[in-house]
Structure 1
Amino acid sequence: MSNRFLFYFGGLLLPLTPVITHAQQIKGTVVSSVTQQPIPFVNVGLPKRGIGTVSNEQGQYHLAYDPAYATDSVRLSSVGYEARLLPFAALLTGADVRLTPQTVSLAAVSVVAASVYARTHTLGLEKPAPKLDFHLASKELGTEIGTLLHVDRSPTLVQSIHIVVVKNETQPLTLRVNVYRLDANGQPTAEKLLPRDVLLTTGPQAGVLTADLSGDHLVLTEDCLLAVELVKQNGPIAPDLSKLGFGGALGYGGQCYFRIASQGPWVKPTMKSNVPLLGKKLQVAFYATVKD
Structure 2
Amino acid sequence: MIRKLLLILFGMGCVALQGQLAYEGVVLDADTGTPIPFVNIGIVDRGVGTISNENGEFLLEFRPREVQQGDIVRISSLGYIPRKIPVSLLNDDVLKLIIRLQPNPVSLEEVVLTDKEYVEVEDEVGYRDLLGKGIGYWKDSVALGGELASKIRVRKGLRRLNTLFFNVLHNPSDSVRLRVNIYEPADKWGAPGKNLNESGRSILHVLRSHEILTVIDLKPYNIWVRDDFIVSLELLGVFGTENISLSLPAGNLPGVPSHRRYTSQGSWERIDDSAVGFWLQSTFYTDKPRKANKPRQLRKREKKEREISGTVFEIISSGRSEMRSRRRGATISNYTSNKSVKTDEWGRFRIKAVKGDILGVSYPGMYQVLTKVEEISFYNFQLYPVKN
SS state of the match for residue 121, structure 1?
strand
Q: Do structure 1's residue 168 and structure 2's residue 171 form an aligned pair?
A: yes
Aligned residue runs from structure 1 range 196-215, under 5 A: 196-215=201-220
SS state of the match for residue 33, structure 2?
coil
What is residue 77 of structure 2 aligned with on the other side? 78
Percent identity of equivalent pairs: 27
> Contact 1:167/1:205 (CA < 8 Å) preserved in 2?
no
Q: Do structure 1's residue 146 and structure 2's residue 138 form an aligned pair?
A: no
Separation (CA, whole Å) in 2 of partners of 1:213 and 1:227: 13
Residue 39 (structure 1) aligned to one of 36, 41, 51: 36
More relative contact order, 1 or 2 (CA 8 Å, 6+ apart): 1
> Contact 1:188/1:224 (CA < 8 Å) preserved in 2?
no
Q: Do structure 1's residue 229 and structure 2's residue 234 form an aligned pair?
A: yes
Aligned-residue offset at 1:90: 4.1
Aligned-residue offset at 1:205: 2.7
Aligned residue runs from structure 1 range 43-82, under 5 A: 43-68=40-65, 69=67, 71=69, 72-82=71-81
Aligned-residue offset at 1:97: 0.7
Aligned-residue offset at 1:112: 8.8
SS state of the match for residue 124, structure 2?
strand
Residue 104 (structure 1) aligned to one of 100, 103, 106: 106
Distance change (3 Å), C-alpha of 1:190 and 1:53: farther
Question: Residue by residue, what CA displacement relative to the aligned partner does 1:73-100 show, whole Å, maximum 9, x if unpaired?
Answer: 1011100001111112445521311111
Distance change (3 Å), C-alpha of 1:80 and 1:282: same
Q: Do structure 1's residue 238 and structure 2's residue 237 form an aligned pair?
A: no
Q: Which has the greater radius of gyration?
A: 2
Distance change (3 Å), C-alpha of 1:91 and 1:116: farther
Q: Do structure 1's residue 185 and structure 2's residue 188 form an aligned pair?
A: yes
Aligned-residue offset at 1:201: 1.2
**What residue identity is the alignment partner of 1:64?**
E
> Contact 1:117/1:291 (CA < 8 Å) preserved in 2?
no
> Contact 1:158/1:213 (CA < 8 Å) preserved in 2?
yes
Distance change (3 Å), C-alpha of 1:112 and 1:149: farther
> Contact 1:123/1:287 (CA < 8 Å) preserved in 2?
yes
Separation (CA, whole Å) in 2 of partners of 1:131 and 1:168: 18
Q: Which moved more, 1:206-215 or 1:225-234?
A: 206-215
**What residue identity is the alignment partner of 2:37?**
P
What is residue 283 of structure 1 aligned with on the other side? 275
SS state of the match for residue 210, structure 2?
coil
Separation (CA, whole Å) in 2 of partners of 1:91 and 1:222: 42
Aligned-residue offset at 1:141: 0.3
SS state of the match for residue 215, structure 1?
helix
What is residue 265 of structure 1 aligned with on the other side? 267
Name the Cα RMSD after superposition: 2.4
Distance change (3 Å), C-alpha of 1:95 and 1:257: closer
Task: Report how many residues are paired.
Answer: 260
Distance change (3 Å), C-alpha of 1:179 and 1:117: farther
Where structure 1 has 5 or more consecutive residues not aligned to the other structure, the ranges are 1-19, 271-280
> Contact 1:54/1:231 (CA < 8 Å) preserved in 2?
yes
Separation (CA, whole Å) in 2 of partners of 1:111 and 1:238: 54
SS state of the match for residue 102, structure 1?
coil
> Contact 1:124/1:253 (CA < 8 Å) preserved in 2?
no
Q: Which moved more, 1:210-219 or 1:115-124?
A: 115-124
**What residue identity is the alignment partner of 1:130?**
G
> Contact 1:164/1:207 (CA < 8 Å) preserved in 2?
yes
Distance change (3 Å), C-alpha of 1:98 and 1:190: farther
Aligned-residue offset at 1:216: 2.4
Residue 118 (structure 2) aligned to one of 116, 119, 129: 116
User: TM-score, normalized by length of structure 1?
Assistant: 0.81
Where structure 2 has 5 or more consecutive residues not aligned to the other structure, the ranges are 1-16, 285-388
User: TM-score, normalized by length of structure 2?
Assistant: 0.62
Separation (CA, whole Å) in 1 of partners of 2:68 and 2:88: 6
Aligned-residue offset at 1:41: 0.3
Aligned residue runs from structure 1 range 9-48, under 5 A: 22-48=19-45
**What residue identity is the alignment partner of 2:35?**
P
Residue 127 (structure 1) aligned to one of 116, 126, 129: 129
